Amino acid sequence: MKTENIGFKNELSFVCALLTGVAESSQVYPRVTAEMLTSRELALIYKGIIELFNKGKAMDYTLLEHEMRALDHELYAEMNGLNYVGDGLLSVVDDVHVTTYADLIVEEYQRNSLRLLAMEISGKCGSRDIPVEQILQLANTKLEEIAGMGVNSTSTRQISEIGQEVVAHHTRLLENGGTSVGYSTGLKGMDNIMGGFMRGEVAIASALTSHGKTALSLHMAVQIALQNIPVYIISLEMSMEQLYGRILMSLSNVSPENLRMHGLTETEIAVAKSLNETTLRELPIYIDYIPSARPEDIRA
């Protein structure tokens, strides 16, 4: 493997994140093209990944190597297939930062494109035979192209396609006997007012201190998780143990005073153990305690 530099490490991490099979190629393609990768070897792997994606096939190393051989048999043999990224796969185990790696690759490609454009413009400026207007037009056209590199156009949709998805969603809701367009909060009155939680929307619960915001939020979190929808709770002030206690009390008759001050009774301990091993074990609720969280911490 070639000597690693920052650009190469970004490309290696990018490709390996896709190789985990967790990230979908649609997260970065067609925003990132193979020509943006400076490494011929990594570009070949990425081309193979995109070929699988375009054929509607899930990530599979055997199928991927087949695509790589078909694309460039000589380079495939030279790099010994996916063994080329063996070390990288050990250090990248998920897709958490795949879009960040994509941003870095696009940015570096734009920088290189700007350097080449600067050299081209400089050369043309040295020739008196080329009108300034022509040079300016060339510069403007190329700058627009460079600015558009890596722009994700997949968010653009034809209106009827959007309509078909909306109708399909409401059809499923009708067939399943649902009463909320969004995810039910577990509170009928709340669902009647807001229609449940809508995908892509941000709901804010606002009230004075000690007016039940946390209790309400935890209740809705549990109800949503009971629908087998994963819930991620970030706490800025309450510890994980305190949040667990709130959830435990919402699902049982455990005494708040005993849990917080006197200690649980033998019966209450048995109840807590039973919930831990049954309902709570299956509940897709994940809690993170970040007392001094910054927006970037939460986003990460």
pTM assigned to the model:
0.48
pLDDT at 155 over 60: no
Q: Note whether 125 and 217 are same-domain residues.
A: no
Domain boundary among 149, 169, 187: 149
Residue 17 lies in a domain: yes
pLDDT value at residue 204: 87
pLDDT at 2 over 50: no
Q: Note whether 50 and 141 are same-domain residues.
A: yes
Give the count of domains, the chain.
2
- 232: which strand partners? 286
Residue 260 lies in a domain: yes
Q: What percent of the chain has pLDDT over 90?
A: 31
Higher pLDDT, 58 or 296: 58
Residue 51 lies in a domain: yes
**In the chain, what is the straight-line distance between the N-terminal and C-terminal CA atoms, in Å?**
30
**Model confidence pLDDT, tens digit, residues 208-245:** 888 888 888 888 999 899 888 899 888 888 888 888 89
pLDDT at 3 over 70: no
Q: Note whether 48 and 142 are same-domain residues.
A: yes
Q: Note whether 139 and 244 are same-domain residues.
A: no
Q: Note whether 116 and 52 are same-domain residues.
A: yes
- 286: which strand partners? 232
Q: Note whether 121 and 258 are same-domain residues.
A: no
How many other C-beta atoms lie within 10 A of the C-beta of residue 132?
9
Q: Note whether 221 and 140 are same-domain residues.
A: no
Q: Note whether 1 and 142 are same-domain residues.
A: yes
Domain boundary among 110, 133, 149: 149
Q: Write out the two tokens for 117.
A: 């454009």
Q: Note whether 46 and 143 are same-domain residues.
A: yes
pLDDT value at residue 44: 96
pLDDT value at residue 118: 94
Q: Note whether 145 and 214 are same-domain residues.
A: no
**Model confidence pLDDT, tens digit, residues 125-134:** 998 899 998 9
Q: Note whether 9 and 86 are same-domain residues.
A: yes
Cβ atoms of residues 227 and 241 within 8 Å: no
**Model confidence pLDDT, tens digit, residues 38-87:** 999 999 999 999 998 888 888 889 999 999 999 999 999 999 999 999 88
How many other C-beta atoms lie within 10 A of the C-beta of residue 96?
13
Q: Which CATH number does the domain housing residue 111 bear?
A: 1.10.860.10
pLDDT at 297 over 80: no
pLDDT value at residue 93: 61
pLDDT at 163 over 80: yes
Cβ atoms of residues 237 and 243 within 8 Å: no
Residue 140 lies in a domain: yes
Give the pLDDT band (50/70/90) at residue 95: low
pLDDT value at residue 153: 53
Q: Note whether 138 and 212 are same-domain residues.
A: no
Residue 110 lies in a domain: yes
Residue 182 lies in a domain: no
pLDDT value at residue 77: 94
Of the candidates 20, 169, 179, the one whose C-alpha atom is nearest the C-alpha of residue 88 is 20
Residue 99: which residues within 8 A CB-CB, separation 6 or more? 27, 28
Domain span at 9: 1-149
Q: Which CATH number does the domain housing residue 291 bear?
A: 3.40.50.300
Domain boundary among 149, 171, 191: 149
Looking up tokens 């067609």 gives: 30
Q: Write out the two tokens for 138.
A: 């060339």
Residue 34 lies in a domain: yes
Q: What is the rounded average pLDDT for all residues in the chain?
A: 85
Residue 169 lies in a domain: no
pLDDT value at residue 94: 62
